[in-house]
Amino acid sequence: MNILNGWQIDKDLGVYRIPIRITNPETKLSLVKHCLFDTGFSGYLGLDNETNSVLNLPKIGQGKGITVKGLIEYDNYEGIIEIVDNNQKSLVKIVNIDKTNERSEKEVVPIQDFEIPIIGIKLIRQCSWLILSEKDVIFILK
């Protein structure tokens, strides 16, 4: 096992924030956002409205979900997602693992409209992670 990269915990918020490059599959416009690492979020990636507006991601539909706030509705978009290092070098390209995916381009994944940038379990489980709690650091492994 090799360590690809590591990130310190955000001391102010007490969370891990992982840099993710999001690319519009049609225009190829991209940007990097530091996203909250959250195993409680069942999707791939949630993005704030401002990021969705800047990237102008293709909208593919709407969904509903249950959260601690109750039933919510959200928009779904498509994008290409990569975990990157602090120099924006690609470490891992995320693929669409949904059984219902009819697209031949597995690199295009659904992205949900969310209040904050957040990575969920469908992205997290595509990588091996090591958390050293005594050092407050998370590593992505190869």
Per-residue confidence (pLDDT) for residue 110, from 0 to 100: 94
Per-residue confidence (pLDDT) for residue 102, from 0 to 100: 62
CB 109 within 8 A of CB 95: yes
Structure tokens at 118: 């957040």
Mean per-residue pLDDT, 47-73: 89
Please tell me the distance from the alpha carbon of residue 13 to that of residue 34, in angstroms, as a whole number: 13
Tell me the average pLDDT of the chain: 92
How much is the pTM?
0.90
Q: Residue 96 burial by CB count (10 A; 0-12/13-18/19+): exposed, middle or buried?
A: middle
The per-residue pLDDT for range 69-124, each reduced to its tens digit, is: 788 888 999 999 999 999 999 999 999 988 665 656 688 999 999 889 999 999 99
CATH no., domain 17-127: 2.40.70.10
